[in-house]
């Protein structure tokens, strides 16, 4: 089983990225062949400063390793080191219906809810590059957050379309009869943490300025935790559990037993929001301080990170080679 996923290097990694994606990446190590990458080509849609782009790529690589992606167990690489992905992106694009891209949630969200008025082609075609990322390595399973579900459906649809077009006798109902050229991947979505809430109660996201970052300074972490939105319920009263991002974050971050205690206190009243925030902050330190320390060490050793990524790229290209060869031959290149 080949397991693949990526995270954009478009900002600092946050709790949503960890619980929605990276934690699964780590847990899936050893359950098959693992390929994980930094989607730094996708990130160019939002990062326009070359120094920042390079820095964020490095930070994302360091975050992966610090959080437990072991470069001995997983192929860890940078998307831009694999030229084959851009080639497959183009070839795949020739069978992608524009109507699919027009109804892509992430694209429409930027236009309808975030006020984007003159979208660029890179944003529009984002799902095609993502499908190429997945299909290039014959991936079976793609662990992601819920927001990526539609992108995975697209990848399956376009792989099917490509197979029908280029494989004689391919029947999508009976793929076992005649295998396709591109393998159909399936999304693996963690139910409990499929959507981690941000400080303001919306989905936590780099684009909403509502994150709790994993690798900021202690001061920044405290500031972010203390700014989680709460209502005006008095300390002595029981606290509401709906529209309560603090409650949701405690549920995600605290280990099960510890959360049971907190839940009882939450429902009983007698403890203020500030004290609950302190509990969350303590738990974050307890769970992430070793990774935070490792991260700082990794960020100081640029050569080591580069070497990890370089080795990863060589290994990833070896996985990609037979697939791109098949595709090139099939379309007549």
The residue from 206, 239, 251, 277 that is catalytic is 206
Q: Residue 141: what are its φ and ψ, rounded to 5°?
A: -125, 135
Near ligand ADP by CB under 6 A, which window of 193-201, 234-242, 294-302, 310-318? 193-201
Beta-bridged to residue 142, according to DSSP, are: 187
Q: Does the active-site annotation cover 203? A: yes
- Judged by CB, which is closer to ligand TRP: 41, or 181? 41
Angle at the Cα of 304 (from 35 to 322), degrees rounded to 5? 30
- Nearest in space to 12 (alpha carbons), one of 301, 244, 283, 220: 220
Proportion of the chain in helix, strand, coil states, percent, rounded to 5: 55, 10, 35
The residue from 23, 168, 174, 203 that is catalytic is 203
> Smallest gap, in angstroms, from Cβ of residue 192 to ligand ADP?
10
Distance CA(289)–CA(282), nearest Å, equals 10
> Smallest gap, in angstroms, from Cβ of residue 267 to ligand ADP?
25
Evaluate whether 19 touches 103 at the Cβ level (below 8 Å).
no
Structure tokens of 269? 């009243």
3-state SS of 58-107? HHHHHHHHHCCCCCCCEEEEEHHHCHHHHHHHHHHHCCCCHHHHHCCHHH
Site string for ligand ADP, 134-163 (x = CB under 6 A): ----------xx-xx---------------
Residues 267-326 that bind ligand ADP (CB under 6 A): none
Q: Does the active-site annotation cover 260? A: no
Q: Does the active-site annotation cover 149? A: no
- Judged by CB, which is closer to ligand TRP: 149, or 326? 149
> Smallest gap, in angstroms, from Cβ of residue 143 to ligand ADP?
7
Site string for ligand ADP, 98-137 (x = CB under 6 A): ----------------------------------------
The residue from 23, 73, 110, 239 that is catalytic is 110
> Smallest gap, in angstroms, from Cβ of residue 201 to ligand TRP?
21
Return the residue of 38, 155, 204, 284 that touches ligand ADP, per CB under 6 A.
Answer: 204
Sign of the CA dihedral with 58 first, then 64, 66, and 69 last: negative
Angle at the Cα of 12 (from 9 to 14), degrees rounded to 5? 115
Q: Does 42 bind ligand TRP (CB under 6 A)?
A: yes
- Judged by CB, which is closer to ligand ADP: 23, or 317? 23
Structure tokens of 188? 């693996």
Q: Does 205 bind ligand ADP (CB under 6 A)?
A: yes
Q: Does 323 bind ligand TRP (CB under 6 A)?
A: no
Per DSSP, the three-state class of 12 is: coil
Q: Does 7 bind ligand TRP (CB under 6 A)?
A: yes
User: Could you tell me the strand order of the sheet in which 186-189 lies?
Assistant: 74-78, 33-39, 2-8, 141-144, 186-189
Q: Name the residues that contact ligand ADP, by CB under 6 A.
A: 7-8, 10, 16-17, 20-21, 144-145, 147-148, 193-196, 203-207
């Amino acid at each position: 089983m080949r397991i693949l996923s990526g995270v954009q290097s478009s900002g600092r990694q946050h709790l949503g990225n960890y619980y929605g994606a990276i934690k699964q990446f780590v847990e899936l190590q050893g359950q098959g062949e693992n390929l994980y990458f930094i989607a730094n080509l996708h990130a160019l849609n939002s990062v326009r400063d070359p120094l920042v782009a390079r820095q964020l790529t490095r930070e994302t690589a360091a975050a992966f390793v610090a959080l437990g992606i072991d470069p001995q167990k997983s192929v860890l690489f940078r998307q831009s080191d694999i030229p084959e992905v851009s080639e497959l992106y183009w070839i795949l694009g020739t069978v992608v219906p524009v109507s699919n891209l027009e109804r892509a949630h992430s694209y429409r969200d930027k236009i309808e809810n975030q006020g984007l008025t003159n979208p660029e082609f890179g944003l529009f075609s984002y799902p095609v590059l993502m499908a190429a990322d997945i299909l290039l390595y014959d991936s079976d399973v793609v662990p992601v957050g819920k927001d990526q579900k539609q992108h995975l459906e697209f990848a399956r649809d376009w792989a099917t379309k490509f197979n029908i077009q280029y494989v004689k006798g391919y029947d999508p109902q009976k793929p076992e009869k005649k295998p396709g050229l591109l393998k159909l991947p399936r999304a693996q979505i963690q139910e409990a943490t499929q959507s981690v809430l941000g400080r303001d109660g919306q989905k936590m996201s780099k684009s909403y300025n509502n994150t709790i970052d994993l690798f900021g300074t202690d001061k920044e972490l405290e500031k972010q935790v203390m700014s989680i939105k709460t209502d005006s319920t008095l300390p002595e009263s029981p606290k509401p559990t709906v529209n309560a991002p603090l409650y949701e974050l405690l549920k995600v971050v605290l280990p099960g037993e510890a959360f049971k205690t907190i839940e009882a206190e939450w429902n009983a009243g007698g403890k203020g929001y500030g004290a609950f925030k302190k509990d969350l902050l303590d738990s974050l330190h307890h769970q992430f301080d070793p990774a935070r320390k490792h991260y700082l060490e990794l960020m100081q050793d640029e050569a080591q990170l580069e070497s990890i990524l370089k080795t990863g790229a060589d290994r990833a290209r070896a996985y990609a080679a037979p697939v791109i060869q098949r595709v090139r031959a099939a379309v007549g290149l």
